[in-house]
Amino acid sequence: MRFFQFDRSLISFDERADAEQVERCLLSMQRAEEDFRSSLDLYNYAFRRKRGGSVPYESKRMVQWMKIAGRNGAIAANSFSQMTIIINGADLPSVRGEWNADAKKKARRLFQCEFPDILAIRASAAHPEELGTNPAERMKHRLKQPVSLSGVLQAAAGTFVSDHLSAYDSKLVYNATYNGVMVGYELSEPKADALSRAVDLYFNAFLPVGQEA
């Protein structure tokens, strides 16, 4: 775990609470990345055990574990997203012109590119029963248009989808319908590495005005 601390001599007293919040967010981002990787570990274990020819009752359990991994990965990635929102919103006028704004912007764009639907998919992953059993919610989230995703997932207009798993060796694609459209994310090593790169970029952004403690 990496720790960052702003140079307090550069930060005005009124800005210290915001600076400390950014420092905490950089820690929380790394914990979210670890949770994402742990979710991937659980998925890989369950996928390979199921593929290995487990007995029927255990095969069903492995599918459930894959769903849990998919849901938890979405929640972890969303937690990472929330930390980026706080960090990107930090003003800190005393040092705003001194940090690496380009690295900060690249980190934000990297995350948005790799996880474009994460806010929506997190809502579905965290509340599958609430969205799936409430008639009003089901109606709200049914597809407005038919979709076909690479021939793997096809659904007609009016379809409600929750916890759809496209399972591959070392990769899970998790889809659901939300506000009338299909949303999803990928739980995989490349996506976990993207989170790691985003953390590195945020550290690079702030190192000109602080140090790793």
Cα–Cα distance for residue pair 173/70, rounded to 1 Å: 8
Q: Is the pLDDT of residue 22 over 70?
A: yes
pLDDT(129) > 70: no
Q: What percent of the chain has pLDDT over 70?
A: 92
**pLDDT tens-digit series, residues 151-167:** 667 778 877 778 888 99
* Average pLDDT over all residues of the chain: 89
- Classify the C-alpha dihedral 140-185-2-205 as positive or negative: negative
Pick from 125-129, 130-134, 136-140, 179-183: least confident = 130-134
Q: What is the mean pLDDT of residues 40-67?
A: 88
Q: Which tops the pLDDT comparison, 79 or 142?
A: 79
Residue 131: the pLDDT is 60
Cα 15 to Cα 17: distance, rounded to the nearest angstrom: 6
Query: What would the two tokens of residue 23 be?
Result: 């420092």
Question: b/e string for 35-66 if b means 16 or more Cβ within 10 A?
Answer: bbbebbebbbebbeebeeeeeeeebeebeebb
Would you say 30 and 200 are in contact if contact means Cβ atoms under 8 Å apart?
A: no
